[in-house]
């Protein structure tokens, strides 16, 4: 059958024969590997996998067609992906798509005939801070405009390929490597491969196995060095390597700094630290310099020389790059000043690839104490008393979940870290994993010990390659430091952590679907009860917690439950991280105590609406959440209050909309997302959200009827009450909350056939006003040539032919095109 095919299966056969475990739950990883090798999944490859793994082809095909990541056809040479996230939607991603469609001549999902381009619309890439975002051949570009699309794509169209290797220049100098595994003297019990189980308290708390003045000095120096407090450095440069700053051009900065420092002969006196996301994405690329304090914003390659010469060498900060005259350092800036950065405390302050920098800030000390001095039940008790609730969105008490898993009699248990952050508009988990992976690992190890699991998984989106990379590094390091693997820190407790890359399905954030996916199946939601804590992965008790939940755990153990409860509300103690994006001046990563108001977050931290706009609503919880109108923004934010308002906390995506956002089409946007991501199992979700979407589409086209609102409400109710999993049950929230607060906008569409925000195309008309100067620019840009005119007379739009693309409105230099 395969005689005529061109697919060479030999390499795949080799890879599979070297695979250590070909159990069925590795199917997705095997398919990912095969796709890496061939660029897509040829049928022959799937047949070979079926034969070798003994998995029926029908099942493999079912899995392949379920996940967005898998392709059955080769892709173009260049892949252009447009983010379909909420922030990008709010900031005009539709227009970017239109531009790409006209430039490339293909629709999303298609490949050009010459095989050079594939255009895709993809789920949120987590670059919400710089929306609208586009990914070209794997590189993220932010703040996209039509002009920028042409600038990026047109050279490729003409066959001008970027020279290889740009942005990947090798760094010249490797900083002196000092680690906590280094030995102070011959008496130290640390040895290569067998780290001393007491090294944490020895080096961090000065509880050595032997007393020696010299060794004590050595330890102090080591700590100072790794805490960036060593006096021998004149300065530390903290380069933000978060996704947003990278997309803004931070990639090249390190190299440039090294060049400049070397020019000034300062290379040995300055340490450069590449950090995770520092939070203030809007102002990226961000560079902070300590102790010569400065917070530099929007640093461009050409600014580097000046920073080094003026500031580092000359001691005089570069004023024009500072946040503002009054806000010279992080602590001055309202964005930071009004936050309570606990979980984020390491973000921007350490290199996430360096375990020693994490340890230097008392990392893994909580684990040491827990695993050596506390019984699992005591740990669960501490977590229960802290009142920590699941940060993934549901808000289930973490202690209670652990206790259930703990009491299960099955000797085999699993722990899963849910890092399948699929909500469009959310990038907290990505940032944490990229910027402080050890904190998450530490929380996981403590949790696994508490419930009695010896195997844990991190289910992370494949769309987050940097997070995966940093996790891999972190797991490898933790193993070398005796923090993972056998006999962790001399406690006799064993744990292994495996990374599993999700293959692109939002529903897999739901725990039963996540477990199905982990088992190598289609990510279809299962029935609850039984809950995963009783019957989870492989039928064994399985505890699933979110990234941020785990990241809170070491803090609670280190500082105690009372400390944790010292902020937040009675029912929702602690802090919560939000990713703030949309129509707000300062987008970024924000951590605040539960119970602060939405207004505090949006105005005091986010700086309110960008110039000229007026904030209309805040959307929380992504497609499962709702819109909170500006009038209610003084409500304290916690799990319960948001629920009362008809939204949910969700994982922490917070997208701000202003008066240019049409609320009906906003609801339609979320429904179309849910429709696309529904697993298709249960009827209310699969069929119901489809009909809701169709009704909303009709309304935005001006074809709505009043009775549609009753139908919508009934469908919302039935879908909420009867859907199988959280995705379905919460999918009506965007519609219900907007119907609740913005019914007048629905009515304007239905009764007056008018879109108050001027967004719904079918309800808009364009005409040219009398102040037209007959420049002809509109006619030149009209894609359907429906504008005519001549010099001296105003141009006219042929209303029957107009497709309402708005191009004329955009290009007119005299504001002579009116949109009504």
Partner 1 sequence: MKDVKLTINGIIVEVPEGSTLLEAARSIGVHIPTLCHDKQLTIGGACRMCVVEVEGPAGSTRLEPACSYPVREGMVARTNTAEVRNARRTIIELILANHPHSCQTCIRNGRCQLQSLCREYSIGEYKYEGERRHFKQDISSEAITRHPEYCILCGKCVRVCREVQKVYALDFVNRGFSTVVLPAFDRELSQSVCVLCGQCLLKCPVAAIRDKSYISQVERALEDPGTYCTVQVAPAIRASIGEMFGLPPGTLLTGKVPSALRRLGFDKVFDTDFGADMAVMEEGHELLERLKSGGPFPLITSCSPGWVKFMEQFYPEFIPNMSTTKSPQQITGILTKTYFAEQAGIDPSRIFNIAVMPCSAKKFEIKRPEMRLAEGLPEVDAVLTTREFADLLHLHEINLPSLPDEDFDPILGMSSGAGVMFGVTGGMMEAALRTVGAVLDPEGGERLEFSVLRGFGGIKAGSILIGKQEYRICVAHGLGNARQVLDAIREGREQYHFLEIMACPGGCIGGGGQPLPTDDTIRRQRIEAIYAEDRGKAVRCAHLNPAVRRIYKEFLGAPLSEKAHELLHTGYQFRTPRGV
Contacting positions for partner 1 (CB under 8 A): 1, 43, 46, 50-51, 54-62, 65-66, 505, 522, 524, 526-527, 529-530, 675-684, 686-688, 690-691, 694, 711, 714-715, 718, 721-724
* Dist CA 222 CA 227 (whole Å): 8
| Shortest distance, position 724 Cβ to partner 1, whole Å | 6
Tally of CA atoms within 13 A in the half-sphere of 181 that contains its CB: 16
- Residue 101 Cβ, how far from partner 1 at the closest point, in Å? 22
Q: What is the DSSP string of 163-218?
A: PTTTT-PPPS-PPP---TTS-SSTT---BTTB--TTHHHHHHH---SS--HHHHHH
DSSP 684: I
Strand partners, 620: 626, 654
When the beta carbons of 268 and 722 are compared against partner 1, the nearer one is 722
A 10 A CB-CB count for 30 gives 22
Cβ 718 to partner 1 shortest distance, Å: 4
Q: Which is nearer to partner 1, 87 or 727 (CB)?
A: 727
Q: How far is the CB of 573 from partner 1 (least distance, A)?
A: 22
| Minimum CB distance to partner 1, residue 528 (Å) | 9
CB of 715 to partner 1, least distance (A): 7
Q: Closest separation between CB of residue 520 and partner 1, Å? A: 13
Nearer to partner 1, 262 or 720 (CB): 720
In sequence order, which residues have a C-beta less than 8 Å from that of residue 743 and are 6 or more positions away? 709
- Residue 315 class from Cβ within 10 Å (0-12 exposed, 13-18 middle, 19+ buried)? exposed
CB of 700 to partner 1, least distance (A): 15
Q: At what angle do helices 437-451 and 365-373 cross, to 10 degrees?
A: 10
Q: Which is nearer to partner 1, 149 or 712 (CB)?
A: 712
Q: Which is nearer to partner 1, 312 or 515 (CB)?
A: 515
Residue 58 Cβ vs partner 1, minimum distance, rounded to whole Å: 4
663-677 and 743-751 helices cross at what angle (nearest 10)?
100
Closest CA to 494 of 484, 508, 479: 484
Of the pair 51, 377, the CB lying nearest partner 1 is at 51
The nearer residue to partner 1, 265 or 527, going by C-beta atoms, is 527
Strands (E), 472-587: 496-502, 542-546, 575-582
- Read off φ and ψ for residue 71, nearest 5 degrees: -120, 140
Q: Is it true that the peptide bond before 373 is cis, omega within 30 degrees of 0?
A: no
When the beta carbons of 381 and 410 are compared against partner 1, the nearer one is 410
Are 63 and 27 a contacting pair, CB within 8 Å?
yes
585 vs 686, which CB is nearer to partner 1?
686
CB of 53 to partner 1, least distance (A): 8
Instruction: Pick the closer one to partner 1 by CB: 293 or 694.
Output: 694
Asked if omega into 318 is within 30° of 0 (cis), the reply is no
Phi-psi region at 362: left, alpha or beta (left = phi > 0; alpha = psi -120 to 50): left
Question: What residue ranges in 507-549 does DSSP mark as E strands?
Answer: 542-546
């Amino acid at each position: 059958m395969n005689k005529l095919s061109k697919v060479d299966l030999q390499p795949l056969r080799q890879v599979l024969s070297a695979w250590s475990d070909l159990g069925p739950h590795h199917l997705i990883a095997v398919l990912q590997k095969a796709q890496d090798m061939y660029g897509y999944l040829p049928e022959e490859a799937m047949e070979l996998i079926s034969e070798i793994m003994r998995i029926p082809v029908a099942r493999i095909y079912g899995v392949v067609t379920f996940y967005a990541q898998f392709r059955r056809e080769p892709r173009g040479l260049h892949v252009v992906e447009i983010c379909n996230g909420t922030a990008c939607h709010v900031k005009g991603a539709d227009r970017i798509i239109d531009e790409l469609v006209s430039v490339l001549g293909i629709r999303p999902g298609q490949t050009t005939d010459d095989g050079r381009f594939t255009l895709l619309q993809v789920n949120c890439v987590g670059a919400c801070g710089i929306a609208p975002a586009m990914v070209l051949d794997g590189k993220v570009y932010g703040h996209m405009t039509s002009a920028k699309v042409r600038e990026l794509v047109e050279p490729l169209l003409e066959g001008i390929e970027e020279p290889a290797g740009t942005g990947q220049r090798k760094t010249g100098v490797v900083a002196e490597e000092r680690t906590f595994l280094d030995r102070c003297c011959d008496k130290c019990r640390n040895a290569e491969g067998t780290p001393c189980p007491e090294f944490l308290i020895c080096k961090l708390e000065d509880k050595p196995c032997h007393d020696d003045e010299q060794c004590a000095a050595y330890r102090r120096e080591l700590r100072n060095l790794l805490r960036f407090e060593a006096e021998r450095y004149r300065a530390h440069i903290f380069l933000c390597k978060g996704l947003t700053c990278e997309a803004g051009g931070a990639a090249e900065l390190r190299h440039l700094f090294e060049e400049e420092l070397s020019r000034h002969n300062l290379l040995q006196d300055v340490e450069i630290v590449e950090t995770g996301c520092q939070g203030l994405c809007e102002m990226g690329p961000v560079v902070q310099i300590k102790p010569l304090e400065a917070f530099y914003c929007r640093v461009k390659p050409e600014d580097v020389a000046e920073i080094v010469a003026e500031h580092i060498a000359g001691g005089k900060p570069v004023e024009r790059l500072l946040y503002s005259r009054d806000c010279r350092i992080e602590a001055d800036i309202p964005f930071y000043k009004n936050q309570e950065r606990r979980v984020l405390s390491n973000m921007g302050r350490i290199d996430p690839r360096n375990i020693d920098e994490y340890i230097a800030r008392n990392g893994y000390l909580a684990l040491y104490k827990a695993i050596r001095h506390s019984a699992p039940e005591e740990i669960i008790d501490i977590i229960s008393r802290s009142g920590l609730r699941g940060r993934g969105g549901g808000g289930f008490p973490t202690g209670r979940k652990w206790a259930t898993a703990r009491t299960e009699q099955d000797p085999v248990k699993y722990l899963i870290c849910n890092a399948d952050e699929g909500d469009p508009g959310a990038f907290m988990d990505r940032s944490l994993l990229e910027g402080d992976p050890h904190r998450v690992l530490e929380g996981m190890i403590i949790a696994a010990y508490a419930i009695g699991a010896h195997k844990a998984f991190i289910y992370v989106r494949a769309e987050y390659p940097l997070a995966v990379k940093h996790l891999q590094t972190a797991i490898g390091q933790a193993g070398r430091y005796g923090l993972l693997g056998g006999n962790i820190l001399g406690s006799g407790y064993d744990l292994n952590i495996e990374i599993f890359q999700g293959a692109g399905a939002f529903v897999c954030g739901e725990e039963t679907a996540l477990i199905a996916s982990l088992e190598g199946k289609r990510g279809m939601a299962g029935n609850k009860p039984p809950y995963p804590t009783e019957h989870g992965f492989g039928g064994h008790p399985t505890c699933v917690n979110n990234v941020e939940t785990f990241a809170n755990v070491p803090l609670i153990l280190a500082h105690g439950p009372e400390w944790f409860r010292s902020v937040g509300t009675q029912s929702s103690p602690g802090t919560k991280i939000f990713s703030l994006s949309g129509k707000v001046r300062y987008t970024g990563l924000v951590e605040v105590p539960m119970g602060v108001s939405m207004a505090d977050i949006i105005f005091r931290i986010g700086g309110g609406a960008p110039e000229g706009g007026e904030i209309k609503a805040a959307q929380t919880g992504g497609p499962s959440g709702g819109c909170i109108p500006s009038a209610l923004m003084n409500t304290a934010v916690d799990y319960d209050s948001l629920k009362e308002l008809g939204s949910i906390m969700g994982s922490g995506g917070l997208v701000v909309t202003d008066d240019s956002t049409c609320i009906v089409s906003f609801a339609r946007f979320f429904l179309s997302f849910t429709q696309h991501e529904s697993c298709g199992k249960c009827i209310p979700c699969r069929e119901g959200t489809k009909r809701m979407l169709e009704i909303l589409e009709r309304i935005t086209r001006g074809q709505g009827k009043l009775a549609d609102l009753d139908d919508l409400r009934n469908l919302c109710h039935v879908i909420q009450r009867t859907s199988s999993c959280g995705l379905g049950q919460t999918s009506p929230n965007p519609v219900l909350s907007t119907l609740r607060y913005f019914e007048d906008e629905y009515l304007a569409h239905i009764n007056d056939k008018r879109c108050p925000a001027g967004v719904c195309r079918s309800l808009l008309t364009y005409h040219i006003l009398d102040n037209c100067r007959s420049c002809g620019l509109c006619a030149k840009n009209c894609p359907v040539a429906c504008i005519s005119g001549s010099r001296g007379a105003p141009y006219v739009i042929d209303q029957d032919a107009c497709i309402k693309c708005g191009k004329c409105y955009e290009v007119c230099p005299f504001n002579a095109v009116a949109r009504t």
